[in-house]
Structure 1
């Protein structure tokens, strides 16, 4: 049954010319899109949300310690707010 679901593949490249691909259900990308976002914008939003969520978890819920980890979490939260115009806490309702 899952083979009947259309997929879409995205390429990811770093500044160092390292690349990978990720394939996800196309309909899920459409469902998660906000407004008139295109597929790449939707996936980019989800990537940043995922990084912010994981960093938050590591720092605040996983006994993550260390100045470097906290600095990384602070930076991803700044990037999150720049992209979405709200803080991670405002967007998720999860604040400390």
Structure 2
């Protein structure tokens, strides 16, 4: 049985997935094009993008924008994670 925290994470992860499916892919495609600068971002660049969205928290006049910014930040954190070398034990 999943913990409460794990269950909340699962709900949040589903919302991030929906954001990617419904917003990111229609706007940017399922993979970055050769002319997209983000294609060449390293983990640090992705973290800077996440920070940008986190810094906007609480400043938008548009309803729901804080939720959207957190979803965007989470997506950039995932991208940073993907760009790190895999940690190997031993």
State if a TM-score over 0.5 links the two structures.
no
TM-score range, shorter chain: 0.3 to 0.5
Q: In proportion to residue count, which structure has more helix?
A: 2
Ranked by relative contact order (alpha carbons within 8 Å, sequence separation 6 or more), the top structure is 2
Q: In proportion to residue count, which structure has more strand?
A: 1
Larger radius of gyration: 1
